Amino acid sequence: MAGDTCPVLTYHSISDAGGPTSIPPAVFAMQMEVLAASGYRSLRVADFIDWHEGRAPAERSVLITFDDGFLDFADVAAPVLKQHGFTAVVFVPTAKLGGDENWALVEGPGRPLMNWDQVRELAGQGIEFGGHSRTHANLAKLDDAAREQEIAGCKVELAKQVEAPAASFAAPYGAVNPETISAIARHYDVAFGTRLAMARRGRDRHDIPRLDMHYFRERRHWQALLGGNTAYLRARQGLRLVRETLTGGHG
């Protein structure tokens, strides 16, 4: 893949729960297998920032990210990552850990989240953790004070529990506006959204697009992208643009 682009992969739950935020364990295992077989390595956040700022190359490299901190990351995803020598960054809603997902738009029983003991254990194994607000709030709908508490408070709680400064952030639902992006930039070195695209060197470091891996559940599509064929990605981008135009959603 070209040196001026880098795939940032987005996952949520690795389970058979169904829905767009769950990927079956067998599919996840296939995706990681193909990634390794294609000669890719995973980046740490600092490595990604160095590439983004033009200080280091990132040929055949990806940044692997997980949103929400589901328990199945520890139980299912982490062992597969370790098998291939990959690392990841997990964006967690710090005030929700140890419970279930109980935020807006959740239908049915919420999936369980990791607790702090599990987060600390994984951090000791090299997994990175970033902010996802305190309560999985829609940051774009909050007033300035509440938004600041969600963003800054999340960083403080992560530093206290993991004993390492959180450098990265992902806004819940991908919901941002200029005020939200500005607030995030005051506290974090880099931030990621839900825009479906390859990350490009030199673009806004606090609104970096990612690849939703729900779209790459078929081996042929995933292999093609890693081989440099972006036709399927462009088709998905076009379909998403149409849907967002019709619904006014974030995608």
pLDDT tens for the chain, residues 1 to 251: 567 899 999 999 999 988 899 999 999 999 999 999 999 999 999 999 999 999 988 789 999 999 999 999 999 999 999 999 999 999 999 999 999 999 977 777 889 999 999 999 999 999 999 999 999 999 999 999 999 999 999 999 999 999 889 999 999 999 999 999 999 999 999 999 999 999 999 888 999 999 999 999 999 999 999 999 999 999 999 998 888 777 665 43
Report pLDDT for 243: 81
Structure tokens given for 42 = 């995973």
Q: Which CATH number fits domain 5-247: 3.40.50.720, 3.40.50.300, 1.10.10.10, 3.20.20.370?
A: 3.20.20.370
Q: Who's near 1: CB < 8 A, 6+ residues apart?
A: 7, 59, 60, 198, 226, 228
Report pLDDT for 107: 73
Say how far apart CA 39 and CA 26 lie, in whole Å. 20
Report pLDDT for 134: 98
Report pLDDT for 251: 39
Q: Strands 199-200, 5-6: parallel, antiparallel or unpaired by DSSP?
A: antiparallel
Q: Who's near 54: CB < 8 A, 6+ residues apart?
A: 201, 202
Say how far apart CA 224 and CA 227 lie, in whole Å. 5
Cβ atoms of residues 89 and 128 within 8 Å:
yes
Structure tokens given for 193 = 């959204």
> Rounded to whole angstroms, what are the CA distances from 137 to 28, 42, 148, 180, 244?
27, 29, 12, 12, 21
Each domain of the chain, given as residue ranges in start order, spans 5-247
Say how far apart CA 225 and CA 92 lie, in whole Å. 28
Report pLDDT for 3: 76
* Helix and strand element counts for the chain (H, E): 9, 12
> Distance from CA of residue 68 to its chain's centroid?
9
Cβ atoms of residues 113 and 67 within 8 Å:
no
Cβ atoms of residues 171 and 180 within 8 Å:
yes
Say how far apart CA 99 and CA 92 lie, in whole Å. 12
Comparing CA positions, the residue from 159, 158, 78, 93 lying closest to residue 126 is: 78
Cβ atoms of residues 88 and 47 within 8 Å:
no
Q: Strands 89-92, 190-196: parallel, antiparallel or unpaired by DSSP?
A: unpaired
Cβ atoms of residues 31 and 7 within 8 Å:
no
Say how far apart CA 251 and CA 247 lie, in whole Å. 9
